């Protein structure tokens, strides 16, 4: 009788150990799945960052071209303004004191 009780107790311990091992195996499986998903996400993020770098580089290049075009246009406008101002001053220099339309 004592041996049967001892065997029952051993079987119960083994059953609990099997349940714990099954739980541990499931945790290991879940951990591996999380690691796999994490690696996939890391790869996706790396690809997104690479795409973003290309996009940003393209945008910066376009902005640089547009800025250079605007700067050139501003220089042209400044040069035109200076030429107009100089022409206006030459005209004013040629006018005598009584030659202005407001003197009439």
pLDDT per position as a tens digit, 43-68: 999 999 999 999 999 999 999 999 99
Structural domain boundaries enclosing 35: 2-64
Sign of CA dihedral 60, 63, 68, 71: negative
Total domain count, the chain = 1
pTM equals 0.50
d(C-alpha 103, C-alpha 96), whole Å: 11
The answer as to whether 97 is a domain residue is no
The answer as to whether 76 is a domain residue is no
The answer as to whether 72 is a domain residue is no
The answer as to whether 49 is a domain residue is yes
Distances (CA, A) of 76 to 46, 58, 63, 67, 87: 45, 27, 20, 14, 16
d(C-alpha 51, C-alpha 57), whole Å: 10
Band of pLDDT at residue 93, cut at 50, 70 and 90:
confident
Q: Would you say residue 101 has pLDDT above 90? A: no
End-to-end CA distance of the chain: 140
């Amino acid at each position: 009788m004592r041996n049967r009780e001892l065997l029952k107790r051993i079987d119960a311990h083994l059953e609990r150990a099997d349940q714990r091992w099954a739980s541990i195996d499931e945790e290991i499986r879940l951990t591996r799945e999380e690691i796999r998903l994490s690696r996939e996400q890391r790869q996706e993020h790396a690809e997104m960052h690479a795409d973003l770098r290309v996009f940003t580089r393209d945008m910066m290049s376009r902005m640089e071209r547009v800025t250079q075009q605007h700067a050139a246009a501003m220089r042209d406008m400044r040069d035109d303004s200076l030429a107009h101002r100089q022409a206006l001053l030459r005209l004013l220099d040629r006018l005598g004191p009584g030659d202005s339309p407001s003197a009439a």
